[in-house]
């Protein structure tokens, strides 16, 4: 599924980053990472999911309260986390080991930001379960350990996964 990015989506995401950077958790940022693209992926993917399925808890983007959330949204009784690749040429999604092991979700939905087209778009890649992700090798990037999950690993989203 391909969704068009609007300027208001970018503005919302960049505002969230600015607010997040004022918190303790957001006081450090990776240099050169356009994190706002991840928020755009999350919000547009969550909106699309809400149009397809019964969402019982909506996504809100970055949390600026200082309290880490347990999920991005809930569909039925399933905790859903949206993971994204923030550049079109990225071939993998790298969920942090700590998040997968210590803060497990039921469903992980992948999305990818495509900045090579105008207007920009996001592609919803599909889903994986926590057990699926834990099958992939571990790597390190910018000092953090990640599961090295290829974009091609994501499976088509069906209503059955949320039941």
Output the CA torsion sign for 57, 86, 97, 135: positive
Q: Which of 81, 88, 72, 94 is nearest to 5 (CA)?
A: 88
Q: Domain total for the chain?
A: 1
Query: What pLDDT is stored for residue 73 in this prediction?
Result: 87
Domain that holds residue 73: 2-162
Instruction: Find the CATH number of the domain harbouring 34.
Output: 3.40.210
Per-residue pLDDT reduced to its tens digit, 23-57: 666 555 555 567 889 999 999 999 999 999 988 86
pTM of the model: 0.87
Average pLDDT (92-103) is 90
Tens digit of each residue's pLDDT (9 = 90 or more) over 52-80: 998 886 665 555 544 555 788 889 889 99
> How many CB atoms lie under 10 A from the CB of residue 62?
20
């Amino acid at each position: 599924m391909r969704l068009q990015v609007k300027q208001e989506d970018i503005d919302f995401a960049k505002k969230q980053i600015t607010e997040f950077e004022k918190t303790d958790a957001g006081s450090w940022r990776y240099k050169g990472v356009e994190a706002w693209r991840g928020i755009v992926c999350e919000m547009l993917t969550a909106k699309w999911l809400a149009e397809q399925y019964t969402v019982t808890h909506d996504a809100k983007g970055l949390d600026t309260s200082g309290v880490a959330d347990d999920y991005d949204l809930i569909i039925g009784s399933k905790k859903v986390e949206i993971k994204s690749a923030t550049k079109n040429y990225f071939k993998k999604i790298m969920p942090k080991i700590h998040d997968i092991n210590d803060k497990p979700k039921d469903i992980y939905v992948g999305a990818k930001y495509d900045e090579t087209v105008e207007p920009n778009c996001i592609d919803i890649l599909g889903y994986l379960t926590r057990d699926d992700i834990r099958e992939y090798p571990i790597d390190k990037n910018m000092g953090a350990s990640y599961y090295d999950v290829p974009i091609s690993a994501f499976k088509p989203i069906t209503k059955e996964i949320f039941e």
